[in-house]
Amino acid sequence: MKNNSRSKLSVFALGGLDEIGKNMYVVRYGDDIIVIDSGLMFPEEEMLGIDVVIPDITYLLENREKVRGILLTHGHEDHIGGLPYILRELNVPIYGTKLTLGLVEHKLREAHLLNQTKRIIVNNRSEVTLGSIRASFFKVNHSIPDSVGIALETPEGTVVHTGDFKFDMTPVNSNMADMHKMAEIGKKGVLCLLSDSTNAERPGFTGSERNVGEALAEIFRIGRQRVIVATFASNISRIQQVVDAARDHNRKLAVIGRSMVNAVNISMELGYLRVPPDLLIDPDEINRLPAHKVAVISTGSQGEPMSALTRMAHGAHRKIEILPGDTVVLAATPIPGNEKTVAKTVDQLYRVGANVIYSANSSNGVHVSGHGSQEDLKLMLNLMQPKYFLPIHGEHRMLRAHGQLAESIGVRPENVFICDNGDTVEFSSGKARYGSKITTGKVLIDGLGIGDVGNIVLRDRKLLSQDGILVVVVTLSKNNGKILSGPDIISRGFVYVRESEKLLEEANRIVTQTMEKCANEQVSEWASLKTSIREALSRFLYDRTRRRPMILPIIMEV
């Protein structure tokens, strides 16, 4: 017996809209909930001290008995990185391709969640029944092998999620996107398409990963000393091309950086990275070989301060330092927000004498994006011919741009839904409309704490970071309220004490005066006394320095 509310299809995001990261999309039909991806996001600049951000899964926890599983499109952090946190609270089966699950297993083992989690490997031919919904998968090209899109057949119609994709006509592993299957799905009829919007602002087609291989080959050929390539550890296809270039130009290859070593190991084990025997060397062997016989692949393409490449550039890496004449390739473009750290790393590499190849000075291209540009996106839209379109995986303007592309190939403007996380689109009898809003948001992770840092703590960190803190301590007598000790003022992050002794002396006087005044006015509540101290001191310091440090009055009574 089905009631009306049950037979409704709804689609929404718990993460991934109006942002790049923490992708998590939900398709629900009646009592069956399917989750697609569980990503993390790296913190925004203003999230001081936060390590990672994951989606708020309150909705899933409130409906935990209905969640049939989490389907994964591919093995990047913004699609699988949230799993160790989320599976701890929601024990459901996960479905993914071999490489994707290989990368997930590594994470789950570290989080002691491997045994409790049911994991099902799928491929291009799999069909999975999840309650009333049938899921199938289609190969796409992206900067990591074994990426798939997902088609969900529901009683209300088919919902397609592209995953992250581009159309690469000459992919590195010769594993083309399965355009035939996409065409078949499109022909049968797609009710709603959810498609990757990352590059919706970019005209043209995204280049083939193989172009990068050609550029790398040339660099390996002409480099007279060592060649060091930094790229994303997750870009297995790029790593394959570095392996191939090293092989073709008779260089041994050392792998540097924890996440790079890990990615190489897993993808070799699972057969996604083909490395000739004897090609890889231990980093300790680098200095024993002639420079022109060595290549290195490393993390640090974003100039991250603690990464292997940055440490090499500053002579702070244990195993290898950059020598004059080495060629260093940054085979990645800076992620928005990282432009300055990348530029600093390039500068430092030049300083130590390296020949640096990076996006600004490389005419033949040592990086291509893994995401489709406007023509790729239109090709997907044309293959799928969806009735409704919901652009995903992008900031607001990218979703907009993608919506316009959909309109340009014939999707009706009123059938394009530009959503935020938590906005639901409901389908019923072939018609779509906005439904009610779902609770969602950001869960901040700081160290071991999940969600114990919120706006108040962040506001305090912000305040502390701007002008530091002044702690004012004073001990009063329980008997007569007289000052027994203090006021003492201790400052951190405010000003050099040596340079401001007089200022702090005066501050001390202000506190004493304020306390005397309060005593005369018979202010007995500590809260009011503390407020008076804070206000008087804050005013004084702002007048004198134009700064507003946090002021923390502490009153002890003995």
What residues are labeled active site?
Answer: 196, 371
- From candidates 180, 454, 509, 535, binder to its own copies by CB under 8 A: 454
133 binds its own copies (CB under 8 A): no
Question: Least distance from C-beta 261 to its own copies, angstroms?
Answer: 23
527 binds its own copies (CB under 8 A): no
By the 8 A CB rule, do 332 and 143 touch?
no
The rounded distance, in Å, linking the Cα atoms of 47 and 57 is: 20
558 binds its own copies (CB under 8 A): yes
Residues 390-409 binding its own copies (CB under 8 A) are: 395-397, 400-401
Candidates 332, 262, 265, 337; CA nearest to 300 is 332
Residue (363 or 522) nearer to its own copies, CB: 363
554 binds its own copies (CB under 8 A): yes
545 binds its own copies (CB under 8 A): yes
By the 8 A CB rule, do 310 and 230 touch?
no
Residue (67 or 200) nearer to its own copies, CB: 200
Using CB under 8 A as the criterion, what x/- string covers residues 45-84 for binding its own copies?
A: x--xx-----------------------------------
What does the CA dihedral 112, 116, 121, 126 come to, rounded to 10 degrees? -150
Cis before residue 283, ω within 30 degrees of 0?
A: no
Question: Least distance from C-beta 222 to its own copies, angstroms?
Answer: 17
The rounded distance, in Å, linking the Cα atoms of 549 and 102 is: 49
Write the DSSP string, 148-193: EEEEEEETTEEEEE--S-B--SS-TTS----HHHHHHHHHH-EEEE
Using CB under 8 A as the criterion, what x/- string covers residues 478-497 for binding its own copies?
A: ------xxx-x-x-xxxxx-
Token pair, residue 75, equals 């093995």
Question: Least distance from C-beta 285 to its own copies, angstroms?
Answer: 31
44 binds its own copies (CB under 8 A): yes
Strand arrangement, sheet containing 294-298: 280-281, 252-256, 294-298, 227-230, 327-330, 355-357
Count of residues engaged in binding its own copies, rule: CB under 8 A? 69
469 binds its own copies (CB under 8 A): yes
3-state class of 232 per DSSP? coil
The number of angstroms, rounded, from the C-alpha of 251 to the middle of its chain's C-alpha atoms is: 33
Region from 136-144, 240-248, 426-434, 465-473 binding its own copies, contact rule CB under 8 A: 465-473
Give the relative orientation of helices 374-384 and 396-408 as an angle to the nearest 10 degrees: 60
Residue (1 or 448) nearer to its own copies, CB: 448
Question: Least distance from C-beta 359 to its own copies, angstroms?
Answer: 10
Q: Which amino acid, residue 243?
A: V
Question: Least distance from C-beta 462 to its own copies, angstroms?
Answer: 7
- Provide the annotated binding site: 49, 51, 74, 76, 78-79, 142, 164, 233-235, 367-371, 393, 446
Residue 341 CB partners (closer than 8 Å, separation 6+)? 302, 303, 304, 305, 310, 334
- From candidates 471, 504, 519, 523, binder to its own copies by CB under 8 A: 471
What sign has the CA pseudo-torsion 340, 345, 349, 352?
positive
452 binds its own copies (CB under 8 A): yes
Residue (350 or 434) nearer to its own copies, CB: 350
- From candidates 134, 461, 481, 523, binder to its own copies by CB under 8 A: 461
Give phi and psi for 244, each to the nearest 5: -60, -40
- From candidates 332, 453, 507, 515, binder to its own copies by CB under 8 A: 453
- From candidates 65, 278, 414, 499, binder to its own copies by CB under 8 A: 499
**Cα–Cα separations (whole angstroms), residue 365 to 133, 207, 295, 298, 361:** 43, 10, 19, 19, 9
Alpha helices, DSSP H only, in 301-364?
Answer: 308-313, 339-351
Instruction: Give burial (CB, 10 Å; 0-12/13-18/19+) of 2.
Output: exposed
Beta strands in 409-482 (DSSP E): 424-428, 431-434, 442-446, 449-450, 469-476
315 binds its own copies (CB under 8 A): no
**Cα–Cα separations (whole angstroms), residue 522 to 52, 483, 512, 513, 526:** 49, 15, 15, 14, 11
- Provide the annotated binding site for Zn(2+): 74, 76, 78-79, 142, 164, 393
Question: Least distance from C-beta 130 to its own copies, angstroms?
Answer: 34
Residue (187 or 397) nearer to its own copies, CB: 397
Question: Least distance from C-beta 124 to its own copies, angstroms?
Answer: 34
By the 8 A CB rule, do 153 and 188 touch?
no
Residues 335-364 binding its own copies (CB under 8 A) are: 336-337, 339-340, 343, 346-347, 350-351, 356, 360-361
285 binds its own copies (CB under 8 A): no
Binding site for its own copies (CB under 8 A): 18, 44-45, 48-49, 201-202, 336-337, 339-340, 343, 346-347, 350-351, 356, 360-361, 395-397, 400-401, 446-449, 452-454, 456-458, 460-469, 471, 473, 475, 484-486, 488, 490, 492-496, 499-500, 544-547, 550, 552, 554, 556-558
